[in-house]
Amino acid sequence: MNQKEVSELRRRWRVDKNAVSRIYGCYVNSNKEIVSNLDESLGTMPEEEAEKYLGLLKKSLSGALGKNLIDIVFSTQQVMDSEEHKLLSALRSSALKDGQTRETFYRKVIDRLDMGGDNYLLLMACDSYDVPHRGKDGEVQADGSETVFNYILCCICPVKMSRPELNYFPGDNEFHYTAGQVVSAPELGFLFPAFDDRTANIYNALFYSRKSDELHQEFIDAVFHTEPPMSAAEQRETFQSALSDALEDTYSVEVVRSIHERLTDQIAQHKESKSPEPLTITASNITAILQDCGVSQDKVGAFQEKYGEQFGQGAVLSPANLIDTGKFEIKTSQAAVSVSPDQSYLVETRVIDGKKYLLIPAEERVEVNGQAVSFEA
């Protein structure tokens, strides 16, 4: 799925836009027990309550593609005969109305999901989207629908105790110091099937994780039983390790800076282009940067080999998962230097009298602990 397709579905999750008839789910305690089941008509709810439920589900379609929103890919064999795909398909085809199928799904999630002792609310809804046709100019033609996209959306929301407050209870005509249980924003969720090329793709699902470095692999295994994807943090660590191991003593500040600058520029240009397709790179993009830095062909070849071993031959990655575009930081055992990425060229490395130094120009105002200081010539 691309960003435009995700946004198209997100816009539906309002009371006046969707075709959701009921909200389903269950409230689970820290002992993995279902405390309460949810099966309510959206149409009979107060509007504010309906908006809240829809808003929680909508959040499972938020974040960055490749970081918070991750493609789950089923093999052909799984689509044909796996229990996981059959269960998801049954939930979808029944529009979640089959209570036994919902119960089977609930138990599969509850038995495996680790929420660190938190109670949580599992929410599900089924929407039926009459997909409008888009003309060659990209404009939507409201009367030109070609297909109906039926899909399910699920999210897992932690339920936490609020701070105790003094509350008024009209029935008792008294005030009491009490705390309530509050549903938080979703920690994870998924869409099935994927909405690729504005139509259903039963070979894919879209998984959501609020924390890009905590993907809840146990949930992915229970619900999809597919090869667990690398989190953004794991991708960055693996990428840096591949560079370090391959380049060895030629992995310099200048090489790191060049990679950081080039990837940052690509991310900025992609953002300006407003392309709906996610930005991706391969090993060849990085090797081109290394070659421009004068890295030997042997080292470049070693990096390509490491990249293939760690990510798979021909693997595509999101540049945003490989670098932090907001900072450029250099650390030693005694100190750390952090500069804005667009000013990273100011940091130089020198060897003076046999010792290694980091040099930064100090031509303008210099502060120490918030105090302006002067330099002696």
Same domain, 180 and 59: yes
pLDDT for position 136: 62
Same domain, 284 and 253: yes
Same domain, 136 and 196: yes
Q: CA-to-CA distance for 93 and 193, rounded, in angstroms?
A: 11
- pLDDT by residue for the chain (377 residues), tens digit each? 898 999 999 999 998 888 899 999 999 999 999 999 999 999 899 999 999 999 999 999 999 888 899 999 999 999 999 999 999 999 999 999 999 999 999 999 999 999 998 999 999 999 999 988 876 656 666 666 678 999 999 999 999 877 878 877 787 887 777 777 889 999 999 999 999 998 999 999 999 999 988 889 999 999 999 887 888 889 999 999 999 999 988 888 888 888 998 999 999 998 898 888 888 989 999 999 999 888 899 999 999 999 999 988 888 889 999 988 888 888 888 878 888 878 787 788 888 888 888 888 877 778 888 878 877 65
Residue 371 is assigned to a structural domain of this protein: no
Same domain, 91 and 173: yes
Same domain, 204 and 147: yes
Given 190, 223, 256, which residue is the final one in a domain? 223
pLDDT for position 86: 96
pLDDT for position 164: 78
Residue 340 is assigned to a structural domain of this protein: no
Q: How far is CA 16 from the centre of its chain?
A: 27
Note the pTM of the prediction, 2 decimals.
0.82
Given 202, 223, 244, which residue is the final one in a domain? 223
Q: CA-to-CA distance for 16 and 39, rounded, in angstroms?
A: 20
Residue 95 is assigned to a structural domain of this protein: yes
Residue 133, beta-bridge partner list: 141
Let me know if 70 is exposed, middle or buried by CB neighbors in 10 A (0-12, 13-18, 19+). buried
Residues 6+ away with beta carbon under 8 Å from 158: 115, 118, 119, 120, 183, 184, 187
Same domain, 42 and 186: yes
Same domain, 113 and 143: yes
Q: CA-to-CA distance for 156 and 180, rounded, in angstroms?
A: 19
pLDDT for position 230: 86
Full residue range of the structural domain in which residue 76 is found: 3-223
Tokens of 318: 């999101």
pLDDT for position 326: 84
Residue 350 is assigned to a structural domain of this protein: no
Same domain, 10 and 146: yes
Given 174, 204, 223, which residue is the final one in a domain? 223
Q: CA-to-CA distance for 225 and 218, rounded, in angstroms?
A: 9
- Three-state SS for 139-191 is CEECCCCCEEEEEEEEEEEEEEECCCEEEEECCCCEEEEECCEEECCCCEEEE
Q: CA-to-CA distance for 15 and 19, rounded, in angstroms?
A: 9
Q: How far is CA 21 from the centre of its chain?
A: 28
Residue 149 is assigned to a structural domain of this protein: yes
The number of folded domains in the chain is 2
Q: Would you give the DSSP letter of residue 44?
A: T
Q: Would you give the DSSP letter of residue 203?
A: T
pLDDT for position 163: 81
pLDDT for position 329: 84
pLDDT for position 218: 94
Same domain, 207 and 314: no
pLDDT for position 143: 62
For residues 60 and 190, the answer to whether their CB atoms sit within 8 Å is: yes
Same domain, 46 and 161: yes
For 185, half-sphere exposure in the C-beta direction (CA atoms, 13 angstrom radius) is 10
What 3-state DSSP class applies to 250? helix
pLDDT for position 302: 92
Residue 89 is assigned to a structural domain of this protein: yes
Residue 362 is assigned to a structural domain of this protein: no
Same domain, 13 and 79: yes
Residue 356 is assigned to a structural domain of this protein: no
Same domain, 69 and 195: yes
pLDDT for position 40: 94
pLDDT for position 18: 86
pLDDT for position 117: 87
